[in-house]
Structure 1
Amino acid sequence: MAQISATEQKGMQQIDLTTLNIQQLYQLKQQLDQELNLFQESLASLKMAQGKYQNSGEALEKITPQSEGQEILVPLTGSMYVPGKLHDTNNVIIDIGTRYYVEKDVEGAKDYFQRKVKFVTEQMEKIQWLGLEKSKIRDAVVEIAEMKVAQQQQQQS
C-alpha cells in the first residue's frame, strides 16, 4: 500500500489532487478510509494494553509487607482465579509478553509498568497525529471530488 502524507518526506512524490480524475479521487479516499480504520483499531489495542499496564501497576501498590500471609485470588487467565496466600511481598512474577515471565522486586516491577505505560502512551500519540494528518488529506480529497462532480454537472447542463 502506498503511503500518503500531507508533509513532504524524502523518497515520496507530491501529487496535485486536482489533476486526478473522480474515480482516482474516490480510490484515494477509500485507501485513506482503510488507513484511518487501521489507526482506530491500533489505538483501541494500545488503549487496552495501556489499561492492563496501569492496572498491574496499581495492583502492585496494594502489596505491602503487612499483606504477607493474606489470602488473595491468583489470576490464571483473564476470567479464572484460584485462591492463594501471599508468601513473598518483596518479589513478584510479571508477564513481559508472549508467555515470558520475570521475577522482579516490587519497585522494579512498578518501574517496568510505568515505563510500559509511558511507551504505549507515546505510540498512541504518534498514531493520533498520523490519523489527524490522514483525516485532513481525506477531507481535501472529498472536497476536490465534490468540486469536480459539481463542475461535471455544470458542464452537462
Structure 2
Amino acid sequence: MASKQAGQVDIGQLPIPQLNQLVQQLEQEIELFTSSLNQLKLAQQKFLESQECLNKVSPENNSKDILVPLTSSMYVPGQLSLFMYNLFHLLLIGSNKTQRYLTKGKEYFKRKIDYVTKQMEKVQPLLAEKYKMKQVTMEILQLKIQNQIQSQQAAGAVKS
C-alpha cells in the first residue's frame, strides 16, 4: 500500500463504511473531472470551428453557397457574404490592414485552442488517477466484505 507520510492513510485499514464513503467521493470527483473534460472538448471544438470559418473569409469565397445552421440538426441554404471583408477593404484602401486583422484573428483562435488543449492535458491524468484510486478502493472493499461474510459464516458454523 501507500507509505505512511503526513496526511496519508492506508486505505486497507479503513472500515467498510469509510471505504464506501471514499468510493462515493471518488465517483463524484470522477464525474466532476469528466464533466470538465467534456466542457473543455466542447470549447476546443467551438474554437476550431471559429478558426475554420475565419479561414474561409476571402474574396474568392464571396457568394458561395453554404448551409447555415439554425439548430444543431436544422440547416437552411445561404450564400457566403464577405460584407465585412469588403467593408474593411473600403475603409482601409491602400493598406494591408485587412490581412493583418484576419491574421490576428487566426492567431487568437490558435492561442485559445492551444490553451484549452493544455488544460485538457492537465485534467486527463487527474481523471486517470481517480479511476485507478477508485478501482483499488473497490477491490479492497470487496475483499473486506468477503472476509466479513466468511467470518460470519464461520461464526455461524461454530454455533451449530
Q: Give the secondary-structure state (helix, strand or coil) at the position aligned to 1:105.
A: helix
For 1:87 and 1:64, the matched residues in 2 are separated by 11
Instruction: Identify the residue that residue 134 of structure 1 maps to in structure 2.
Output: 130
**8 Å contact 2:30–2:131 — kept in the other structure?**
yes
Encode CA deviations 1:19-62: one digit per residue, 9 max, x unaligned: 11000000000000001011111111111110000001111111
Instruction: Identify the residue that residue 23 of structure 1 maps to in structure 2.
Output: 17
Instruction: Identify the residue that residue 47 of structure 1 maps to in structure 2.
Output: 41
Higher normalized helix content (fraction of residues): 2
Per the normalisation by structure 2, the TM-score is: 0.71
For 2:117 and 2:16, the matched residues in 1 are separated by 39
Gaps of 5+ in 1: 1-5, 92-103
Code of the aligned partner of 1:130? L
**8 Å contact 1:71–1:86 — kept in the other structure?**
no
Question: Which one has a bigger Cα radius of gyration?
Answer: 2
**8 Å contact 1:72–1:85 — kept in the other structure?**
no
Give the number of equivalent residue pairs.
136
Q: Please list every run of at least 4 consecutive aligned residues from structure 1 whose deviation after the TM superposition is greater than 3 angstroms.
A: 65-68, 70-73, 77-85
Counterparts in 2 of 1:75-114, with a 5 A limit? 85-89=81-85, 105-114=101-110
Correspondent of 2:146 among 137, 146, 150: 150
Identity of aligned residues (%): 40
Code of the aligned partner of 1:113? F
Per the normalisation by structure 1, the TM-score is: 0.72
